[in-house]
Amino acid sequence: MNKKFILAGALLLSVLLIASALYAAGTATVTTVQNDRLRSTEYTVTWAADATTAVVPTASLPDVAGFVIGLEVDPGSPAPTSLYDITLVDRHGVDVGFDDLLNLSATAPVKVQVYDARWLNSEDLTFTLSNNSVSSAVGVFRLTVRR
């Protein structure tokens, strides 16, 4: 009887540890919405920092084509570290967000209206969030391009 109890307890503990490790992992999920009437595409990255390391994984935004017309960042709760950075790097290593997404506020949303021509020609972009030290911090980033 004791052996069965110990085995069942060990099994339960293993399942709980695996589940907590999976829950703790950071995420960065990309969704894409096309608006044919406005000839625009919105790429949204919903991110969550790792519960242990506070690292947000990189995310790929595939085949982005058009003029960049908007960049938005909305930190959630728990909020990221003040002055965190987001970069959108193309295959040439160029940050197409330029300096508009550096040193971001931990609490205030940022909406950048882009007035200069930033043309992307079917670029695969890499989203990277850095300088965050808040475990489980969350937020949303949006990139809007017009074809």
**Nearest C-alpha neighbor of 86 from the set 102, 109, 107:** 102
CATH number at residue 140: 2.60.120.340
Which candidate, 145, 144, 133, places its Cα nearest to that of 26? 133
Give domain status of residue 16, yes or no.
Answer: no
Strands (E), 9-58: 27-35, 40-48
Task: Read off the pLDDT of each residue in 79-95 and give the average, rounded to a whole number.
Answer: 94
pLDDT tens digits along 94-144: 898 878 999 999 999 999 888 777 888 888 999 999 999 999 999 999 999
CA dist., res. 49 & res. 55, Å (int): 5
- Structural domain includes residue 97: yes
CA distances from 64 to 23, 124, 144 (A): 31, 6, 10
In a domain, 114, yes or no: yes
Number of domains in the chain: 1
Domain carrying residue 88: 25-146
9 in any annotated domain: no
Confidence of residue 3 (pLDDT cuts 50, 70, 90): low
Q: pTM score, two decimals?
A: 0.81
Alpha-carbon gap, residue 27 to 58, rounded angstroms? 9
Residue with tokens 């949006």: 142
- Percentage with pLDDT > 90 across the chain: 68
